[in-house]
Structure 1
Amino acid sequence: MRINLLCSRRNLPENLFQERESERWAGIDRGALILLEEDIKPCMAIGDFDSVSEQERDYLESHLVLNPHKSEKDDTDLALGVMQAVEEGYTEIDIYGATGGRLDHFMGVLQILEKPEYEVKNITIRVKDATNIITYLGRGEHKVDRDSEYQYISFLPVMYPTVISLEHFKYPLNHEQLNVGSTLTVSNELLEPEGQVTLHYGGVLMIRSRDAK
């Protein structure tokens, strides 16, 4: 099962709500209010709701069942939302509105992607915005399809050493060890409809990108 999580209106893909209005959505804090404004009723609303006014909170409570978390907590609202989605059986989670704001919040988002429990459970989590798709790849073989909308593909190691092989890419690699500070695997491209990424050791964030329109 797949679900979309909305955090804010920042950097959203064009026509996102029109194209995905029939899909399952969850609102993260103010994201729940935004979904209602777009005539989409979220199946979950997660957060402490400290980013909405008292009037907006009353509006939320008149349309949704809220179980607010305390403001002082050990996880971010988004982390709690991903946890709840996984607990409810979702295995594909797309996150929107999580980029373009505070850098500490964004780095926290990347930590969620790298959480070992989700890799063990084969949970696919993607962070999407108007120009990027970010996901985590762990040890093993991964098929990557060419996407004309996102021409560039980068692989950023999140642990060292990371050893990677790339097949059917413009810049292929064979058991290449990625060292701290290296930019070797930034901005690659697929040459075939499908490429193969093999992580012999370690893990990477795969970022599929396009230039802003």
Structure 2
Amino acid sequence: MRDKVLLFINGDAPKSLPNPENYGLIACTDGAFHYLKRMGFPLDKLDFISGDFDSHSGSDEGMYEEKFILTLDQDKTDFHKALEIIQEKGFSEIDVFGGSGGEQDHFLGNLTVAYTFKDHMDLKFYDEYSVYYFIPKSFKVEGVKNKMISLYPFPSAENITTKGLNWPLENGSLSITSRIGTRNFAVEDEVSIEYESGDVLFFVGIKEIEYPAIY
């Protein structure tokens, strides 16, 4: 995992922090810096902190100034700019914390940024409820029995066939304007998904559920 990146962005602070020793690069946006400091994250482990720093005023932040990368482009979000820096450093596998919660337009913006980079980076978002990420046209995941599974079309996906889900699809279609595939669950340890066109944002729940707790 040492070639992976740990990136914190400015959504809801994670309930628990991952082990920084598992990552080859650790970074945060300037907004996320505040909750990391509050939660006692070892800030010396950060390789860089990016953003416009308009929210930084604490007297103890000067010791980390050498880690600051100023990004003033207002046409891109802090998340987008952080990914560009990571890409320039030669990394492509990123675990993202703090991507959801907070202001919901930020959350939607984060998903759009992830969509922009999906062909060049393996981005996975983590929050207290689920792990979610864009999946390729042929996809398998293991260790998910009894966990909530959602397939969200972005904005549509055609000829989808799934195995291992309670409500399977057989050459089905999903679209945000007609039918989405949320709140399903895995009945097998392995779930496979094949689709021909479009894009799918895949969610897997953190915890096992007691079905039929579906709504």
TM-score by length of 2: 0.82
Change (3 A) 1:198 1:161: closer
Q: Which secondary structure state, in structure 2, belongs to the residue aligned with residue 188 of structure 1?
A: strand
Match of 1:49 among 35, 48, 53: 53
Regions of 4+ moved over 4 Å: 33-37
> Which runs of 5 or more residues in structure 2 are unaligned?
208-215
Residue 64 (structure 2) aligns with: 60
Residue 4 (structure 2) aligns with: 2
Percent of aligned positions that are identical? 23
Residue 127 (structure 2) aligns with: 129
1:120 has 2:124 as partner = no
> How is 1:134-213 mapped onto 2 (pairs within 5 angstroms)?
134-138=132-136, 140-147=137-144, 151-160=147-156, 162-210=158-206
Change (3 A) 1:179 1:7: closer
Give the aligned residue type for 1:101. G
> Which runs of 5 or more residues in structure 1 are unaligned?
none
Give the aligned residue type for 1:106. F
Q: Is the 8 A contact 2:11 2:103 kept in 1?
A: no
Q: Which has the higher strand share?
A: 2
Change (3 A) 1:110 1:9: closer
Q: Is the 8 A contact 2:30 2:53 kept in 1?
A: yes
Give the aligned residue type for 2:187. L
TM-score by length of 1: 0.82
Distance 2:69 2:83 in 1: 16
Distance 2:172 2:142 in 1: 22
Give the aligned residue type for 2:32. G
Distance 2:34 2:183 in 1: 36
Residue 39 (structure 1) aligns with: 42
